[in-house]
C-alpha cells in the first residue's frame, strides 16, 4: 500500500501508529514487558512452545501489516521490525512506569526528572530509528 509518499514519511507514520496503538493498550504493554522475565517462567515445555508459536504468528502478522505500508521492506525485514517493536515496547514501557519513589525523586531533583520517559514519544522515536535502520541496511 504505497501511497506515493516518500519512504521515510511512510515509515514515520507507521512508527506513530504503532506507538499510539500500543499506548492505548496499557494491559498489553504490561504483558509484553513481563513476558520474558515473568510469564515465560515456571511453565511446561508444551505451554512454552504453544505460546511461542502464537507469538511467531502474531509477529508475522504485524510484519505483514508493516510491509503493506512500507513495501520497500521484504517479509524478512518487516518481520524484524515487528519483532523489534515488541522488544522496545517492553523495555520502554517498564522504564516509563516509574515507582512512587522514583516519581518523588524526579520531583525533588530536576536533573533526575530529565530521565523520565514519555512512553508514546519515546516508543515512536525508537520505532522511527528501527525502521530507518532496517531500511538503510535492507
Q: Would you give the distance in Å from CA 78 to the centre of its chain?
A: 13
Contact indicator for 13, 69 with CB cutoff of 8 Å:
yes
- Distance linking the first and last C-alpha atoms of the chain: 19
pLDDT tens figures, 47-82: 999 999 999 999 999 999 999 999 999 999 999 999
Average pLDDT across the chain, whole number: 94
CATH superfamily, domain at 7-137 = Tetracycline Repressor, domain 2 (1.10.357.10)
Q: Does residue 138 register a pLDDT over 80?
A: no
Domain ranges of the chain: 7-137
Amino acid at each position: 500500500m504505497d501511497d506515493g509518499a516518500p519512504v521515510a514519511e511512510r515509515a514515520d507514520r507507521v512508527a506513530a501508529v504503532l506507538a499510539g496503538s500500543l499506548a492505548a493498550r496499557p494491559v498489553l504493554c504490561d504483558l509484553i514487558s513481563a513476558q520474558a522475565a515473568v510469564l515465560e517462567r515456571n511453565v511446561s515445555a508444551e505451554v512454552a512452545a504453544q505460546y511461542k508459536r502464537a507469538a511467531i504468528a502474531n509477529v508475522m502478522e504485524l510484519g505483514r501489516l508493516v510491509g503493506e505500508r512500507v513495501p520497500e521492506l521484504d517479509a524478512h525485514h518487516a518481520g524484524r521490525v515487528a519483532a523489534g517493536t515488541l522488544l522496545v515496547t517492553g523495555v520502554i514501557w517498564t522504564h516509563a512506569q516509574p515507582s512512587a519513589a522514583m516519581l518523588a525523586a524526579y520531583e525533588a531533583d530536576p536533573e533526575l526528572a530529565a530521565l523520565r520517559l514519555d512512553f508514546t514519544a519515546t516508543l515512536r522515536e525508537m520505532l522511527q530509528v528501527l525502521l530507518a535502520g532496517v531500511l538503510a541496511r535492507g
